[in-house]
C-alpha cells in the first residue's frame, strides 16, 4: 500500500509542529477526537462520511495509529479490511483511510484536561493551548498493569517490561532487552509477547499463570507447546531478583513449593486498565468497575458533549472490536450534532450485583427509538463462574440466560433484554449454581 505510506510521510513534518496553525487561529473543530488508535480513527472516518465538516484527531505519540503501530504480528484487519494484516500495516491503513476521508490528524499533541464547553487544554511543542469543539470523542485506549501496581516483590532491576513496552522496544527501536525472560500471564496479549520473542530469537524460560487454566483460549492450546515453552499453571510469581538486570525469579508451585528460575527478564503481561488519566481530573463520571467513563448506549459520557469508544470503555477488546465501536459511536456523534439523540436526563442506570460480574458497559440506557451505537451489554467475570444471568428492574427479576464464563472472555447480552421504556435501575447478577 504505497499510497498510505506516502501520505504518512507527507504528514510527518506537519506532525512535528504539533498544533501550530493547523486548524485556524481559533483552534476550533466540529469534533475533536482524542487518540488516533483504531477507535478514534474509525470514528473520525465515519464522521466525515456522515458529512461532518471539521473532524480533527489529536494524538500524543509522534505517529498516528495507536497500539497496533508496534504490534508487528497478526491478526489485525479482518473485520475492517477483510484481510489479515500485521499491526503496523493495519495502523497505516487506518490512517490512510482517515486522511482520504478528509480527517485532519495532529500528532505530538497531548490532551491535559477536559472541561465542559467542550473545552480541551492541550500541550505540544508550542506549549499549552485551548481547543474548542462541539463534540469530543475520547478514545485513549488501555494499557497493561505495571509490576508496581501488582505488588510483585523483589528488587527493581532493568528488564522488567509490559508487552506494550517490549513491542515498542523491539519494533520501533530494534532493541532486544533480554534473551531468556519469564512471561507472566496467559491473556491474548501474553501470546502476542511470545510471538514478539520468537521474532527476535528470544527464548522465554516459562510462561506463568496463577489460574488453573490459560486466560486466553485459542493460541494457548498450541503456541507454548510449538515454541517449546513450559506453561506453569497455578503458579504465582513471588519475587524478581537481580541488581542492574534480572537474574531470576522465585515462583510458588501448585504444591506450595517455592522454586527459583533463572531468567534475565520478566514480561509482565495483561491486566489491562483504561488509559483514563485525563478523565480523573475532569468533570466526567468514571466507573470504578471498568476504570473508564460511564456511558450510555451511544457512547455518551455524563456530559453529553463528550463520547467515548474503544478500549477506554473497558479492558480489553481486540482492535477490530474497538474499530467497530469507534465507527458506531462516530455515527452517534454525527446524529448528536444534528440534534437527533434524546436527552440524557431520562436514562436508567445499569448496575451489577453479586461478586462474579466484574463490569458492564454501557452503564446507562436512555429510552429511545434511535438505534444504539453499542447494541449489547458487555460483561466480564472476575473468576470462573457458572449459573444464571439475571436482570432485576424495580424489584422484578428475570433470568436472561444461563452462563458459563471465564475471566477475560466476552459476554454479550443484547440491549433488547430491557423493556421498551425501563425505569429505575437495571441490575444484572450472575447467580452461581452450586458446584
Partner 1 sequence: MSADHRNSQFDIAVIGAGVIGCAIARQFTLEGARVVVIEKAPDILDGASKANSAILHTGFDAPPGSIEASCIAAGHAEYLKIHERLGLPLIKSGALVIAWTEGEEQRLPMLMERARENGVEDVQFLSAGQTHELEPELAEHVKASFTVPREYVIDPWSAPYGYLLQGLANGAVIKRNCEVKGGRFDGVRWKLDTVQGQISATTVINAAGLYGDIIDQKLTGSTRFSIKPRKGQFIVYDKPASALVKHILLPVPNDVTKGVVICRTAYGNLLVGPTAEAQDDRVNAALSETAMTALRQRGEEILPALADHDVTAVYAGLRPATEFKDYQIHAHEGLNYITVGGIRSTGLSSALGTAKLIYQRYLESGEAFQPPATIQWPRVSNIAENYPRDWQCEGNKGIVCHCELVTRREITEALEGPLAVRSIGGLKRRTRATMGRCQGFYCSAELAKMTQPYFDAAGSTVRSHAGIN
Near ligand FAD by CB under 6 A: residue from 76, 178, 379, 428: 76
Q: How far is the CB of 130 from partner 1 (least distance, A)?
A: 13
What's the CA gap between 44 and 32, in Å, rounded? 9
**75 lines the binding site for ligand FAD (CB under 6 A):** yes
Q: Does the protein bind partner 1 through residue 265 (CB under 8 A)?
A: yes
Nearer to partner 1, 15 or 403 (CB): 15
Question: Which residues share a beta bridge with 401?
Answer: 389
Whole-number Å distance between alpha carbons of 387 and 88: 41
Helix axes 2-16, 87-100, angle to 10 degrees: 80
| Residue selected from 46, 59, 264, 429 as contacting ligand FAD according to rule CB under 6 A | 59
Answer with the entry of ligand FAD, partner 1, none that 158 interacts with (C-beta below 5 to 8 A by kind). partner 1
Residues 77-116 that bind partner 1 (CB under 8 A): 108, 110, 112
What is the Cβ-side half-sphere exposure of residue 82, based on CA atoms within 13 angstroms?
0
143 forms part of the interface with partner 1 (CB under 8 A): yes
Q: Which is nearer to partner 1, 177 or 387 (CB)?
A: 177
Binding residue for partner 1 (CB under 8 A) from 66, 87, 154, 362? 154
- Candidate ranges 49-57, 59-67, 303-311, 317-325; the one touching partner 1 (CB under 8 A): 59-67
> Quick one: residue 365, left, alpha or beta (phi over 0 = left, psi -120 to 50 = alpha)?
beta
CA distance 285 to 132: 21
Task: Provide the minimum distance between the beta carbon of 197 and ligand FAD in the complex, in angstroms, as a whole number.
Answer: 12
Least distance to partner 1 from the beta carbon of 160, Å? 4
In whole angstroms, give the CA distance from residue 248 to residue 266.
9
Binding to ligand FAD in span 134-153, by CB under 6 A:
139-141
Q: Please state the closest distance from residue 191 (CB atom) to ligand FAD, in A.
A: 9
**342 near 366, Cβ under 8 Å?**
yes
Q: How many CB atoms lie within 10 A of CB 283?
A: 13
The CA distance from 247 to 100, in Å, is 50
243 touches which of partner 1, ligand FAD, none (CB within 5 to 8 A by kind)? partner 1
**Residues linked to residue 236 through DSSP beta bridges, in sequence order:** 252
CB of 138 to ligand FAD, least distance (A): 8
Tell me the sheet residues that pair with 430: 389
Contact status: 164 vs partner 1 (CB under 8 A): yes
Q: Tell me which of 1, 100, 148, 353 binds partner 1, using CB under 8 A.
A: 148
Q: Which residues, at least 6 apart from 19, have a Cβ–Cβ distance to it below 8 Å?
A: 27, 58, 106, 109, 122, 124, 126, 129, 131
Q: Per CB under 6 A, does 279 bind ligand FAD?
A: no
Among 278, 350, 426, 430, binds ligand FAD (CB under 6 A): 278
Q: Which stretch binds ligand FAD (CB under 6 A): 36-44, 238-246, 360-368, 374-382?
A: 36-44
Please count the residues of this chain forming the interface with ligand FAD, following the rule CB under 6 A: 37
Closest distance of CB 36 from partner 1, Å: 14
Considering CB under 8 A, how many residues would be counted as binding partner 1? 55
Q: Is 310 in the site for partner 1 (CB under 8 A)?
A: no
310 binds ligand FAD (CB under 6 A): yes
> Which residue in the set 3, 83, 100, 243 belongs to the binding site for partner 1 (CB under 8 A)?
243
Q: Does 36 bind ligand FAD (CB under 6 A)?
A: yes
Segment interacting with ligand FAD (CB under 6 A) among 6-14, 57-65, 148-156, 286-294: 57-65
Check residue 18 for interaction with partner 1 (CB under 8 A). yes
> Which parts of this chain interact with partner 1 (CB under 8 A)?
18, 60-62, 70, 108, 110, 112, 123-128, 143-144, 146-149, 151-162, 164-165, 168-169, 172-173, 175-178, 238-239, 243-246, 264-265, 275, 277, 280-281, 288
Residues that bind ligand FAD (CB under 6 A): 34-40, 58-61, 66-68, 71, 73, 75-76, 110-111, 139-141, 163-164, 167, 189, 192, 275, 278, 310-311, 317-320, 322
Amino acid at each position: 500500500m504505497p499510497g498510505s505510506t506516502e501520505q504518512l510521510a507527507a504528514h510527518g513534518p506537519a506532525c512535528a509542529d504539533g498544533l501550530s496553525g493547523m486548524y485556524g487561529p481559533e483552534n476550533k473543530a466540529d469534533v475533536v477526537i482524542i487518540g488516533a488508535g483504531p477507535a478514534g480513527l474509525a470514528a473520525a472516518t465515519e464522521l466525515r462520511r456522515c458529512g461532518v465538516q471539521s473532524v480533527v484527531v489529536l494524538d500524543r505519540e509522534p505517529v498516528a495509529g495507536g497500539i497496533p503501530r508496534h504490534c508487528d504480528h497478526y491478526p489485525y484487519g479482518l473485520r475492517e479490511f477483510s484481510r489479515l494484516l500485521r499491526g503496523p500495516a493495519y495502523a497505516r491503513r487506518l490512517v490512510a483511510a482517515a486522511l482520504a476521508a478528509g480527517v485532519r490528524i495532529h500528532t505530538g499533541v497531548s490532551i491535559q484536561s477536559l472541561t465542559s464547553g467542550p473545552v480541551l487544554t492541550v500541550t505540544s511543542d508550542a506549549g499549552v493551548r485551548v481547543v474548542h469543539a462541539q463534540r469530543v470523542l475520547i478514545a485513549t485506549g488501555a494499557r497493561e498493569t505495571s509490576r508496581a501496581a501488582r505488588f510483585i516483590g523483589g528488587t527493581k532491576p532493568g528488564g522488567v517490561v509490559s508487552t506494550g513496552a517490549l513491542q515498542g522496544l523491539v519494533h520501533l527501536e530494534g532493541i532486544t532487552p533480554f534473551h531468556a525472560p519469564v512471561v507472566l500471564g496467559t491473556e491474548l496479549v501474553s501470546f502476542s509477547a511470545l510471538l514478539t520473542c520468537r521474532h527476535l530469537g528470544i527464548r522465554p524460560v516459562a510462561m506463568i499463570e496463577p489460574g488453573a487454566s490459560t486466560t486466553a483460549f485459542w493460541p494457548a492450546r498450541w503456541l507454548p507447546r510449538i515454541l517449546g515453552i513450559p506453561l506453569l499453571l497455578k503458579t504465582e510469581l513471588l519475587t524478581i531478583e537481580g541488581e542492574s538486570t534480572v537474574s531470576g525469579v522465585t515462583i510458588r508451585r501448585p504444591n506450595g513449593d517455592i522454586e527459583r528460575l533463572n531468567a534475565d527478564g520478566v514480561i509482565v503481561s495483561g491486566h489491562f486498565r483504561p488509559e483514563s488519566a485525563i478523565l480523573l481530573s475532569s468533570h466526567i463520571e468514571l466507573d470504578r468497575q471498568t476504570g473508564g467513563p460511564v456511558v450510555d448506549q451511544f457512547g455518551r459520557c455524563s456530559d453529553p458533549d463528550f463520547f467515548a469508544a474503544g478500549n477506554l470503555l473497558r479492558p480489553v477488546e481486540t482492535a477490530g472490536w474497538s474499530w467497530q465501536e469507534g465507527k458506531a459511536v462516530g455515527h452517534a456523534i454525527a446524529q448528536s450534532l444534528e440534534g437527533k439523540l434524546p436527552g440524557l436526563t431520562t436514562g436508567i442506570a445499569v448496575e451489577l450485583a453479586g461478586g462474579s460480574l466484574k463490569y458492564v458497559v454501557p452503564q446507562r440506557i436512555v429510552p429511545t427509538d434511535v438505534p444504539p451505537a453499542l447494541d449489547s451489554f458487555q460483561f466480564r467475570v472476575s473468576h470462573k463462574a457458572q449459573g444464571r444471568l439475571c436482570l432485576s428492574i424495580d424489584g422484578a427479576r428475570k433470568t436472561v440466560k444461563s452462563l458459563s464464563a471465564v475471566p477475560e472472555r466476552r459476554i454479550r447480552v443484547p440491549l433488547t433484554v430491557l423493556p421498551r421504556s425501563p425505569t429505575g435501575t437495571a441490575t444484572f447478577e450472575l447467580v452461581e449454581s452450586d458446584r
